[in-house]
Chains A and B, each alone.
Chain A
Amino acid sequence: MYQTAGVTLRNPTLLAAGILGTTGASMARMLQKGAGGVVTKSIGPVPVYGHPNPSMIALNADGGKGRVIGYLNAMGLPNPSYDDFCQEIDFVKNGTGAGAPVIASVFGAGTEDFVAVAKGLLPSRPDAFELNVSCPHAKGYGADIGSQPCQVEEVTAAVKNAVDVPVWVKLTPNVQNIKDIGKAAQAGGADAVVAINTIRGMAIDIHSGWPVLGNRSGGLSGPSIKPAAVKCVYDLYEALDIPVIGVGGISCYEDMIEMMMAGASAVQIGSAVYENENVFKDVWTGAENFMKENGYGFDELIGLAHRRK
């Protein structure tokens, strides 16, 4: 058991929002495969079908022949809304995932939406909420709110006021200064920030000239964004008093250790399930061994890079 950001995790690796989080059963499966907690698919005020396909592609080096360097996606926030989603959280809570924390990801077009959705999900007893103010490819939602400090503070404060569980705020890297956004979340009463969501990106099919994603552009995730995520986590750790949860390109224990040295008190893993369904178990087992071998406790490990100067 590991406590951070107001939540007791089975271990410090969480399933990131938007990955295998549409059904309770798939989240329970990830818990069985070693995740220390799960974040749901982002849930909004009304059912949404999402963008047309292709909605996600893997990007390989060397003109497509090399190893995976990242992923592009523009799902378009598909979700059945809270009335239908409560049963998915119930499935985790009442089934094989019983006892593990479920963090409900929430999005909306403004404060009222966020509050309505969070309240709508409360009957399913989520252990925390994660506010998605960072999705880069849904106009009027996500990053459109998350790039305005005043809106981030307002939404965070409103949800904090409406619920009795911790509230995390997931940040977009597509801003001039992520520290300002993090500070706004903290000022709104956030229990933690989660960084980062995907980086705006695009891929074009050279045979036809067509942008590949159905939404034309989307968000980049995977190995290629890890250095950007490490820098954001490093900056946020320095600027904030609340915990930072690191996410972005983590696929092995070395990545997790690095993210914690930058200041993350826990990590989330997403796209890496593409190549390894047991990634949570592998990452945490490796990180635990590394900590043991090097004599690190969490207190020493988290933010270590800040003390090396």
Chain B
Amino acid sequence: MTGKSNNQANQTNRTDQTNRTDQTNRTDQTNQCIEGSSPCNSKTGFPMNAKIIDVKDEAANNKRTLFFDKSFENASPGHFCMVWIRGVDEIPLGCSYTNGVTFQVVGPATQALFQLKVGDSVGLRGPLGNPFTLPEKGERVLIVSGGIGAAPLAPLAEKSKDIGASVTTVLGARSESDLIFEERFAETGDVILTTDDGSKGKKGFVTDVLNGLDLTKFDKIYVCGPELMLKFVMKILIDKQAVSKTEFSMERYFKCGIGVCGSCCMDTLGVRVCKDGPVFKAETLTDSEFGKYHRDASGKRVHY
């Protein structure tokens, strides 16, 4: 049947978008926050036309923010949106601003997004998903960020400060050229910088910093970054009995983005990262596939 060859050609095409690199891409994109609105907005169906009004390079390393002429009002840090690059793909991305998304180039879709200029437009569906639980006035907040994970956390830090919480951020990246939003975090409170190669801040990982912190001093902890980082952060949280006050923003491969298709469900609870997440209470993740494996676009398990 001719259909078979068509389908397999298509599959090859998709493989390009769903290899490990692109998974990283998805991670980042999912985690990049949009200041989204209510978690169950039924009018987020059709992509909204959004024109790019500004483009800002955030770091030397292919990280960029696009600002749109539309914003998601009443959205909350942790929400995400589906960004449709017409003729290419639609990917989960967050807004690091009410009218902006920050992303890293890692696959064909983000590569195509990187080519767009002021005046070009994309389709946006959002705000989607379950956002962070905001702190209360006077609470002490610890933010733990790895790499592009800073994107959803920067607006969270700002919102926390506005509420009247005190904010401490552990901001980690591979190297100085991967660090983003250092100034935004600095304006909200203390920042402890760490880079893998020591090019800025302390040499090492966010986990090294966490090991030295007294976590009993914090009321709420928020974490976002690559899953292996999250895994080691979780170990420390368990050791220091801080799991119950922590939330993680997760990523999985998304198809529908609206909680129907099931592509992004996590074992063992079967929760949907696109709708029940991307932000989860850390306790939800302790007995799960978290840190062990994820699924590719076909639904096949891929171990870390």
Chain A residues within CB distance 8 Å of chain B = 18-30, 41, 46-60, 64-68, 71, 73, 75-81, 84-85, 88, 91, 95, 109-110, 138-141, 144, 203, 205, 207-208, 210, 212, 214, 270-271, 273-275, 277
Contact = CB atoms under 8 A, between A and B. Distances in A.
> Which 6 A/B pairs are nearest by Cβ-Cβ distance?
A140-B3, A58-B45, A25-B270, A29-B270, A49-B14, A53-B90
A53 B84 contact: yes
Contact of A23 (B11, B84, B91, B299): B299
A58 B44 contact: yes
A109 B88 CA distance: 27
Contacts, number: 199
B125 interface: yes
Given A49-B18, A52-B88, A25 B265 contact: yes
Interface string B69-86: 000000000000010101
A80 B262 CA distance: 13
A207 B122 CA distance: 10
A59 B4 contact: no
Given A53-B255, A68-B45, A19 B14 contact: no
A49 B296 contact: yes
B2 A53 contact: no
A93 to B, nearest CB: 14
Contact of A48 (B11, B88, B263, B267): B11
7 contacts: A25-B266, A25-B270, A50-B14, A52-B14, A56-B258, A64-B48, A138-B3
B270 A57 contact: no
Contacts of A18: 261
Contacts of B7: 48, 76-77, 138-141
Given A85-B299, A110-B1, A207-B121, A54 B90 contact: yes
A55 B17 CA distance: 14
Contacts of B272: 20, 26
B301 interface: yes
A19 B261 CA distance: 5
A24 B300 CA distance: 12
Given A26-B262, A55-B261, A205-B47, 15 more contacts: A20-B261, A20-B270, A22-B299, A25-B265, A26-B265, A27-B270, A48-B7, A54-B47, A56-B255, A64-B43, A67-B42, A78-B297, A109-B4, A208-B49, A212-B84
